[in-house]
Amino acid sequence: MKILLTGGAGFIGSHVADRLLREGCALEIVDDLNDFYPPADKRKNLEEIRRSGAFTFHEADIRETERTAAIVAAARPDIIVHLAARAGVRPSLEQPLLYEQT
């Protein structure tokens, strides 16, 4: 099964990605590596996921609809698992529209 996972470099997404690879799924990950948490931590998560198997990584912001559509069209996934989201309660109150977009 081919799965496209958004937010796959984050804490929850990286654990989901690891599990999907261990289950034998073909995986494409989309993540913008934003800096709410250190991007280096997210890159480390991606390195750890690679231990479970090969995957394709797209550094992209899902709010860029044309690029996201192109990624989905090229990947042709059976399933999309959408975990991409901005983190943090306080910032969501300060910038609600940004959080609504993800």
Identify which has the larger pLDDT, 85 or 11.
11
99 band by pLDDT with thresholds 50, 70 and 90: low
Q: Which helix (H) or strand (E) holds 34?
A: none
Check: CB of residue 20 under 8 Å from CB of residue 5: yes
Check: CB of residue 5 under 8 Å from CB of residue 23: no
Structural domains of the chain, ranges and CATH numbers in brackets: 2-101 (3.40.50.720)
pTM, 2 dp = 0.89
pLDDT digits (tens, 9 = 90+) for 17-53: 999 999 999 999 999 999 988 999 999 999 999 999 9
**Nearest to 49, CA basis, from 85, 23, 21, 89:** 21
Give the C-alpha separation, 63 to 59, whole Å: 12
pLDDT digits (tens, 9 = 90+) for 58-78: 999 999 999 999 999 999 999
Matching residue, tokens 């109150």: 93
